[in-house]
Chains A and B, each alone.
Chain A
Amino acid sequence: MSTPYAKLPAWADYGLIPLINLFVAFIVAGLVVLLIGENPFRAAAILVEGALGRGQAIAYTLYYATSFIFTGLAVAVAFHCGLFNIGGEGQAYVGGLGVALVCLAFDSILPWWLTFPIAIVGAAVFGAAWAFIPAYLQARRGSHIVITTIMFNFIAASLMVYLLVNVLKPAASQAPQTRTFLEGGQLPKLNFLFDAIGLTVRSSPFNVSFLLALLAAFLVWVLIWRTRLGYEIRTRGHSPKAARYAGVSETRIIIITMLVSGALAGMMALNPVMGDQNRLQIDFVTGAGFVGIAVALMGRSHPAGIVPAAILFGILYQGGAELAFEMPGISRDMIVIIQGLVILFAGALENMFRPSLQALFANIRPSSVGVEAKQGERA
């Protein structure tokens, strides 16, 4: 047996290859822009300007990034265990129910800094609960988790519409949404941070859940690389056989990993529900659960990669909204294409450029690649 690919230096493996893959994804996206008769370079300029040009824009970018950090971490944790949790969308949607129930119950009696921890627990528990059944079925009955989590996305959508229309909607209101939370159910904004460094932000939904997202990223790093549980998760992900041989209970690891993953996805709901809209609305997730897949793949399932990848998608979301104003032909759906291309090139085709890059490195500096020993083989 031989390893199909020789080792590259770490900076090339974790920096250069993702960047090349991203670059190719953007070239193809540029071709799509060209196909609908717009100038891709002007589109890119408007996009970057719209996402980073002003303090206001940066605040919006980080608001979107907050959601993507949570969903990206959710997908990444499952990846480490060799599971593909495609159900982040549904878990976040149901997590929103947990947030809303906590806020509706406590917003009139507690200040926000007491409601917030309870809401975090609510979001995590509801998100985890939605991931539990697919996890259990995968662990005990062998049903493929990809299919079951997709099905649970559809079921979540129906369930939430039913609950919003028939249960949670105030009797006097027409719109299928809960009542607006009072002061105690609203997260404070972080706009003052921008004022402190001299940028002006009139109003933006950028709120304290961003700090929670960064904390979650750190805790995921601790969990995966610094705890016994994380070691077991990674072992199971690398080789289920080895994990079984080492006495790791597969059922337990699959279920725990999916509960963590679902809880992270559920916590994404804090950002839009408690931080921005202050009520539970239909379809508030708007695809953030799926963006998490692209974010996790681009960030190589490492929190240090996921945070910048999430900010990049925040730029695409915020810049894309501005772009839709300037170029009516390009709507938010352009982001879905870019998302797909990133998943394709950074995920499925991640090894496409590896052999040529390895050959290149082997030519420049043979010792850095370590291919000398294997010269007789094809790389």
Chain B
Amino acid sequence: MDFFNTLVFLLDSTIRVSVPLLLAALAGLYSERSGVFDIGLEGKMLAGAFAAGAAAAVSGSAWAGLAAAVLIAVFLSLVHGFASITHRGNQIVSGVAINFIAAGSTIILGQAWFSQGGRTPLLGGDARFGAIQLPFAETLSDVPIIGDLYSDLLSGHSLIAYVAFLLVPFTWWVLFRTRFGLRLRAVGENPAAVDTAGISVAWLRYRAVICTGILTGLAGTYLALSQNAGFVKDMTAGRGYIALAALIFAKWRPVPVMFACLLFGFLDAFSIRIQGTPLPLVGQLPVQFMQALPYILTVILLAGFIGRAEPPRAGGIPYVKER
């Protein structure tokens, strides 16, 4: 039973750390499927987290925080779109720029507005998206196994976490069952064909990056208002890149994206859990090794030892109308 409790605890924290990864990876999915590479997920998430923390601290409402986060993340997405769609700039360079702008300005503005060394004030109550108890969680908690699974594992997450997991089937439906999704995928594979059909390539791609902005805003909000009680500087700590890796690992498909994010989340939760405890066979692992493990695994995955990842064919290439 002790093992079972540990497992439930581990899976519970897996879900918690997977949520921002999942939201960011789904965000990247929209943009990259439309042919716009987005390495700036990290920066948009960070800016979103800051906006959420700042707006929630000033207004006292988590919803105001969410709105601010989505606004700023969409704005940064549009900057990315302006550079890479309208002006046909290098998409990687533009993403890197957005990451730096977000990293610098969140610290500078946070210090100027709140004077707490780059953090926003601690939040509580209505200013956060707190845990939601699913119906019957209390009554079922005494039932062995099923009760534990339901009330400890499934219940007690924040609203955004449930939204994130619901977005997985939703994204699948949008991409593979709607006209918009069909066109989105087409514009990422063969924009000239879409153009020939009389559909604006630029407008489609702009809509895709707006979706990316909304979801990265959600991811940032989760970090600042659910996982933590306020914004801390550099709080994304490379999650945007891990999400990108998950997206590639999942070969740009929604349901595998969820499993990839859960895998990376599990590794993260696992490494925190076993810190300092010796493992069988290998003995005690250095903390630094556990911290580097997700990155090392990503490299191994990217090396194609576990299936080959084929990006959308028009990804990274600005579309030039033939004249």
Q: Which residues of A are in contact with B by a Cβ distance under 8 Å? A: 1-2, 4, 32, 35-37, 84, 86, 133, 137, 141-144, 146-148, 150-152, 154-155, 158-159, 161-162, 165-166, 290, 293, 297, 329-331, 333-341, 343-344, 347-352, 377-378
CA of A165 to CA of B255, assembled, Å = 41
Evaluate contact between A348 and B84: CB separation under 8 angstroms.
yes
Residues of B within 8 A of A2 (CB): 323
Within the complex, which residue of B101, B112, B238 is in contact with A337, where a contact is CB–CB below 8 Å? B101
Residues of A within 8 A of B286 (CB): 162, 166
Evaluate contact between B105 and A32: CB separation under 8 angstroms.
yes
Evaluate contact between A158 and B292: CB separation under 8 angstroms.
yes
A335-B104, A351-B88 known; A147-B111 Cβ under 8 A: no
Evaluate contact between B104 and A339: CB separation under 8 angstroms.
yes
Asked if B71 is an interface residue, CB under 8 A from chain A, the answer is no
Chain A contact surface mostly: helix
Residues of A within 8 A of B94 (CB): 344, 347-349
Q: Which positions 269-323 of chain B face chain A at CB distance < 8 Å?
A: 286, 288-289, 291-292, 295-296, 298-299, 302-304, 308, 311, 320, 322-323
Asked if B39 is an interface residue, CB under 8 A from chain A, the answer is yes
Q: Which positions 98-126 of chain B face chain A at CB distance < 8 Å?
A: 98-105, 107-109, 111-113
A166-B286, A331-B107, A331-B111 known; A351-B89 Cβ under 8 A: yes
A68 CB to nearest B CB, Å: 15
Asked if B8 is an interface residue, CB under 8 A from chain A, the answer is no
B236 CB to nearest A CB, Å: 13
Evaluate contact between A343 and B288: CB separation under 8 angstroms.
no
Evaluate contact between B105 and A337: CB separation under 8 angstroms.
yes
Enumerate 10 A-B pairs (CB-CB under 8 Å) in ascending A order: A32-B108, A36-B108, A151-B295, A151-B296, A152-B295, A158-B289, A331-B107, A343-B100, A344-B79, A344-B101
Within the complex, which residue of B82, B296, B320 is in contact with A4, where a contact is CB–CB below 8 Å? B320
A36-B108, A86-B96, A162-B286 known; A341-B90 Cβ under 8 A: no
Q: A159-B292, A340-B103 are in contact. List 7 more A-B contacts (CB 8 A).
A: A144-B311, A146-B39, A147-B248, A151-B245, A165-B288, A339-B100, A350-B89
Asked if B50 is an interface residue, CB under 8 A from chain A, the answer is no
A344-B83, A348-B84 known; A337-B104 Cβ under 8 A: yes
B319 CB to nearest A CB, Å: 11
Residues of A within 8 A of B88 (CB): 4, 351
Evaluate contact between B100 and A147: CB separation under 8 angstroms.
no
Evaluate contact between B303 and A143: CB separation under 8 angstroms.
yes
Asked if B30 is an interface residue, CB under 8 A from chain A, the answer is no
B7 CB to nearest A CB, Å: 27
Residues of A within 8 A of B244 (CB): 147
Within the complex, which residue of A154, A337, A377 is in contact with B100, where a contact is CB–CB below 8 Å? A337
CA of A36 to CA of B286, assembled, Å = 42
A317 CB to nearest B CB, Å: 13
Evaluate contact between A154 and B248: CB separation under 8 angstroms.
no
Within the complex, which residue of A142, A155, A162, A340 is in contact with B296, where a contact is CB–CB below 8 Å? A155
CA of A201 to CA of B301, assembled, Å = 52
Residues of B within 8 A of A344 (CB): 79, 83, 94, 97-98, 101
A337 CB to nearest B CB, Å: 4
Evaluate contact between A330 and B92: CB separation under 8 angstroms.
no
Evaluate contact between B83 and A348: CB separation under 8 angstroms.
yes
Residues of B within 8 A of A335 (CB): 104
CA of A137 to CA of B293, assembled, Å = 18
